[in-house]
Amino acid sequence: MSLTTDRFAYPLTGQLVVTVSVTNLEAQSLEGLTINTTVYDSTNKVAMTLPDIVDVEVGALSTTNFNVSATYSLADANYVIVSDATVGGTQVGSANVPLVVLSTEGRAPLTLAMVFHMHQPIYLNLKGQFEQPWVQIHSGGDFEYNGT
């Protein structure tokens, strides 16, 4: 089992979307699967529960994805989303993923600048002429694009 969310960080209110992936490694189908998904706060108290996925089937030797979502209103904090899969009351899988709820009110937008800075020698000969195209060779020689 694995969990993914549709964002890295969430605002204080909105729609939480979780994708639960269940992989069946058995040679027969897994039938009657129930998946419970709960959000816990840092003190391990239930912050919210998402709708259950009830009585589903995962084929033999396959992976099935289930989407579960709910509207939420949470405080600015770190949480953990936990999903448990059961068949007939027996746990057959569990997974968790962190959930970050972040208030952006009053905060300036983040500006990201990626700067590539390279130092290359000039490679002048004794006559003051450039000897070789070292900058082009060192900066682009190790990279291929469309086979060239």
Q: Is residue 127 in a domain?
A: no
The domain total for the chain is: 1
The separation between the first and the last C-alpha atoms of the chain, rounded to the nearest angstrom, is 42
Sheet strands (E) in 42-139: 46-58, 62-73, 77-87, 90-101
Supply the range of the domain harboring residue 73. Answer: 2-101
Q: Is residue 136 in a domain?
A: no
Q: CB of 13 within 8 A of CB of 104?
A: no
Helix (H) or strand (E) holding 138: helix 134-140
Q: What is the CATH number of the domain that holds 31?
A: 2.60.40.10
Query: What pLDDT, on a 0 to 100 scale, did the predictor assign at position 127?
Result: 84
Q: Is residue 15 in a domain?
A: yes
Average pLDDT of the chain is 87
Query: What pLDDT, on a 0 to 100 scale, did the predictor assign at position 131?
Result: 72
Q: Is residue 82 in a domain?
A: yes
pLDDT in tens, 74-89: 999 999 999 999 999 9
Q: Is residue 146 in a domain?
A: no
Q: Is residue 133 in a domain?
A: no
Q: Is residue 16 in a domain?
A: yes
Q: Is residue 28 in a domain?
A: yes
